[in-house]
Amino acid sequence: MKKDRFVKIWIWVGLIFLLIFVLFPFYWMFVTSIKPNSEILSSQPTLWPQKVTLNHYKMAWVYGKIGKYFKNSIIIASMTVVLSLLAVVPAAYASIIYRSQVMNIISSFILFLQMFPGILLLIPLYILMKNYQLIDTYTALVISYSTFTIPFCYLLTKSYFEGIPRELFEAARIDGCSDNGIFVKIALPLILPGIMVIGLFSFVLAWCDFMFANTFSNSEATRTLTVGISTLQGVWTVEWGPLMAAASIATIPILIIFSLANKYIIEGLTAGAVKG
Amino acid sequence: MATIQRIRKTIYVYKYFVIIFILIGGLMLYPLIDGFYLSLYQKNLMYPAKEKFLLFGNFKKLFFDDPMFWLVFKNSLIFTVASVGFEYLLGLSSALLLNSKHVPMKNFFRGIVLLPWIVPIAVNSLNWKWMLLPEYGYINIVLKVLGFGNLARGWLTDLKTVFPTVILVNVWRSFPFFTVVILAALTLIPKDLFEAAQIDGANRWQTFRHITFPGIKGISFVIITLHIVWTFSNFDVIYLLTGGGPLHYTEVLPTYLYQQGFHFFKIGYACSIGVFIFLFLVVTIGFYFTKISSIQEAK
């Protein structure tokens, strides 16, 4: 018993250390964003502000144009969700319904693309977007993100469809339901929770990207939040309050999504890695 | 008749794939081929008239006339090996910690740990830049309070510390992925194996060596492979933390590619760097695969 207690103490030490290591940067970001300037640039900074202020948020949202970038990011990420679902869900369904050698090859090829690094395509894609006059449009980002969400989402959707008993499809077919009918009436409703998870994944991926957004949009009109944060650093070199407010604003949607679907996101993540 | 029917059936089946094929074909495969093609040309966006076919001229220049390339390649290798190594160690130890039966609220802790990985890199790198500032950064302030004031420095500007610091931030951001995936594999190991080991009088190390590790070996291989690819081709972390500086001390292949392509507009040359990254990864991963499978066969 004594040994058990000893182990417990060490585990708690480990846990506390891990929590501080993981959380402190976020805590510090938030605390800095609500401190008055005098408490930010100080050689003895306070761990919790003596005077709480929301001025930095106002400054970032209005003068830093974070509000505008926030809107851009929301639009781009939502459109990415729609396009990736449209691309992935029917294909995953077909791969379950019409099993064949070719289908297996297509599936493993799509899986293999998960390893495909975006940096390889940065320049050819930039030239492509330029030729089709898509630089500085939402479209350029939405179609690029959708392409990069495909491998992971396809894999997950396929595993959701695989979870549906085959007999259900057979029964519907005997009752005279067409393949399209089965898709809309039976398969889709059954995997609806899964579809939400895939949607959230695509949203997070689009929300977090920096590289493509930084390359494909040159103007404020289409600038996303992540790029906005990085360009603001050049303008406000010492204004850490508003910068941290901007960073907090970019974090909030991720936190909301994550607290809603934490369990499913982790399940999807591990399933993806185990199968991939 | 039969062919027409077959074509009809093919259309019937593959209409479900239309969007996926267009996206992958148009935005992955076509640009990939175009990248290979461009790497054979001298092409500069500023001087479109000076386009010229070089065959392997860009690669010749890269390997033999560009001293920066070897430096950058070396940085990329160190960055990848150190990052993935420490990520694995930290991920494994935190997964073992969280898997202990004494840990309460496992799902809560698992969720918290994943945070650095799902928050945008732009946010994470800004947070770390702020904490690593020379004068007002919290890390230096803590060091001073603890009596290690002589260690305080501009972590991202000091040539001695910039590279380890960048690796640390990258490890901090990526280890949660290892934690969560290894943890999932750990919970799949049957409990009675551990009980049997205890009855047989196995010590902690023997239990780990013969039960825990075989249970997570397969998944470790997968996530290490994935992370080698992702880290070697990662642009965001270094670009946002240091931009490759100071004095190219943290320049890696992706940031070098970006610089050649979008600062100097040397499109062809930048594409040859991309092709190099691609081929290097294919060869490394292929070698790794055959090595691992030959070890497994030998057993």
Digit-coded pLDDT (tens) for B164-175: 999 999 999 999
Is the Cβ of A14 closer than 8 Å to some Cβ of chain B?
Answer: yes
CATH number of the domain that residue A61 is part of: 1.10.3720.10
Q: Give the total residue count for chain A.
A: 276
Check residue B299 and give its pLDDT.
57
Residue A4 falls inside a structural domain: no
Check residue B296 and give its pLDDT.
66
Span B198-244, pLDDT tens digits? 888 888 888 888 889 988 988 888 889 889 999 999 999 999 999 98
Q: Tokens standing for A138?
A: 């939402």
Cβ-Cβ contacts under 8 Å, B113 against chain A: 18, 22
B42 backbone φψ class: left, alpha, beta (φ>0; ψ -120 to 50): beta
Q: Do A154 and B32 touch (CB under 8 A)?
A: no
Span A1-19, pLDDT tens digits? 567 788 889 889 999 999 9
Check residue B100 and give its pLDDT.
86
Cβ-Cβ contacts under 8 Å, A226 against chain B: 120-123
Does residue B297 register a pLDDT over 70?
no
Taking the CA of residue A268 and the nearest CA in chain B, the distance in Å comes to 10
Taking the CA of residue A133 and the nearest CA in chain B, the distance in Å comes to 15
Contact between A146 and A87 under an 8 Å Cβ cutoff? The reply is: yes
Residue A90 falls inside a structural domain: yes
Three-class SS of chain B: CHHHHHHHHHHHHHHHHHHHHHHHHHHHHHHHHHHHHHCCEECECCCHHHCEECCCHHHHHHHHHCHHHHHHHHHHHHHHHHHHHHHHHHHHHHHHHHHCCCCCCHHHHHHHHHHHHHCCHHHHHHHHHHHCCCCCCHHHHHHHHCCCHHHCCCCCCCCCCHHHHHHHHHHHHHHHHHHHHHHHHHHCCCHHHHHHHHHCCCCHHHHHHHHHHHHHHHHHHHHHHHHHHHHHCCCHHHHHHCCCCCCCCCCCHHHHHHHHHHHCCEHHHHHHHHHHHHHHHHHHHHHHHHHHHHHHHHC
CA nearest A139: which of A86, A209, A75? A75
C-alpha distances out from residue A269 to A98, A275, B120, B167, B184, Å: 27, 10, 17, 24, 10
Segment among A71-80, B100-109, B117-126, B244-253 with least mean pLDDT: B100-109
Residues 6+ apart with CB under 8 A from B83: B167, B170, B171, B174, B227, B231
Nearest to A91 among B17, B172, B262 (CB): B17
Compute the distance between CA of residue A148 and CA of residue A84 in angstroms, rounded to an integer: 9
Is the Cβ of B117 closer than 8 Å to some Cβ of chain A?
Answer: no
Could you tell me what percent of chain A has a pLDDT over 90?
50
Q: Do A147 and B23 touch (CB under 8 A)?
A: yes
CB atoms within 10 A of CB B101: 8
Cβ-Cβ contacts under 8 Å, B236 against chain A: 210-211
A219 backbone φψ class: left, alpha, beta (φ>0; ψ -120 to 50): beta
Check residue A275 and give its pLDDT.
53
Which domain covers residue A183, as residue numbers? 35-42+49-275
| Mean pLDDT for the stretch of residues B239-262 | 93
CB atoms within 10 A of CB A176: 7
Q: Which comes out higher in pLDDT, residue A38 or A226? A: A226
Does residue B27 register a pLDDT over 80?
yes
Does residue A276 register a pLDDT over 50?
no
Residue A81 falls inside a structural domain: yes
For residue A53, the Cα-to-chain-centroid distance in whole angstroms is 30
Strands B41-42 and B52-53: antiparallel
Across B59-68, b (16+ Cβ under 10 Å) vs e yields beebeeebee
If contacts are CB pairs under 8 Å, which of residues 73-102 in chain B contact chain A? 94, 97, 100, 102
Q: For chain A, what is the domain count? A: 1
Q: What's phi and psi for B42, nearest 5 deg?
A: -90, 115
Nearest to A210 among B122, B130, B275 (CB): B122
Cβ-Cβ contacts under 8 Å, B35 against chain A: 120-121, 123-124
Taking the CA of residue A7 and the nearest CA in chain B, the distance in Å comes to 9
Residue A23 falls inside a structural domain: no
Residue A3 falls inside a structural domain: no
- The CA dihedral of A57, A59, A62, A65, to the nearest 10 degrees, is -90
Check residue B190 and give its pLDDT.
87
C-alpha distances out from residue A70 to A18, A35, A138, B268, Å: 31, 23, 13, 35
Residue A27 falls inside a structural domain: no
Residue A25 falls inside a structural domain: no
| Mean pLDDT for the stretch of residues A139-159 | 91
Contact between B176 and B183 under an 8 Å Cβ cutoff? The reply is: no
Contact between B168 and B162 under an 8 Å Cβ cutoff? The reply is: no
Q: Considering chain A, what is the average pLDDT of its residues?
A: 89
Span B30-40, pLDDT tens digits? 999 999 999 99
Compute the distance between CA of residue A156 and CA of residue A269 in angstroms, rounded to an integer: 9
A-B Cβ pairs (cutoff 8 Å, strict): 241
Residue A125 falls inside a structural domain: yes
Contact between B241 and B125 under an 8 Å Cβ cutoff? The reply is: yes
Q: Do B28 and A146 touch (CB under 8 A)?
A: no
Is the Cβ of A184 closer than 8 Å to some Cβ of chain B?
Answer: no
Span B137-181, pLDDT tens digits? 999 999 998 988 888 888 999 999 999 999 999 999 999 999 999
ipTM of the complex: 0.90
Is the Cβ of B119 closer than 8 Å to some Cβ of chain A?
Answer: yes
Q: What's phi and psi for B88, nearest 5 deg?
A: -65, -45
Cβ-Cβ contacts under 8 Å, A144 against chain B: 27
Span B51-101, pLDDT tens digits? 788 888 889 988 998 999 999 999 999 999 999 999 999 999 999 999 988
Q: Which comes out higher in pLDDT, residue A128 or B291? A: A128
- pTM for this predicted structure: 0.91
Taking the CA of residue A190 and the nearest CA in chain B, the distance in Å comes to 19
Compute the distance between CA of residue B42 and CA of residue B30 in angstroms, rounded to an integer: 20
Q: Do B31 and A229 touch (CB under 8 A)?
A: no
Taking the CA of residue B160 and the nearest CA in chain A, the distance in Å comes to 23
Nearest to B13 among A41, A94, A120 (CB): A94
Cβ-Cβ contacts under 8 Å, A86 against chain B: 19
CA–CA–CA angle B183, A113, A207 (5° rounding): 70
Q: What's phi and psi for B52, nearest 5 deg?
A: -150, 140
User: Using 50, 70 and 90 to split pLDDT, how confident is the model at A167?
Assistant: confident
Check residue B244 and give its pLDDT.
87
Compute the distance between CA of residue B17 and CA of residue B134 in angstroms, rounded to an integer: 54
Does residue B272 register a pLDDT over 70?
yes
Is the Cβ of B62 closer than 8 Å to some Cβ of chain A?
Answer: no
Three-class SS of chain A: CHHHHHHHHHHHHHHHHHHHHHHHHHHHHHHHHCCCHHHHCCCCCCCCCCCCCCHHHHHHHHHCCHHHHHHHHHHHHHHHHHHHHHHHHHHHHHHHHCCCHHHHHHHHHHHHHHHCCHHHHHHHHHHHHHHCCCCCCHHHHHHHHHHHHHHHHHHHHHHHHHCCCHHHHHHHHHCCCCHHHHHHHHHHHHCHHHHHHHHHHHHHHHHHCCHHHHHHCCCCCCCCHHHHHHHHHHHCCCCHHHHHHHHHHHHHHHHHHHHHHHHHHHHHHHHHHHHC
Span A207-221, pLDDT tens digits? 999 999 999 988 899
Is the Cβ of B257 closer than 8 Å to some Cβ of chain A?
Answer: yes
Contact between A245 and A62 under an 8 Å Cβ cutoff? The reply is: no
User: At A261, which amino acid appears?
Assistant: A
Check residue A1 and give its pLDDT.
57
Does residue A274 register a pLDDT over 60?
no
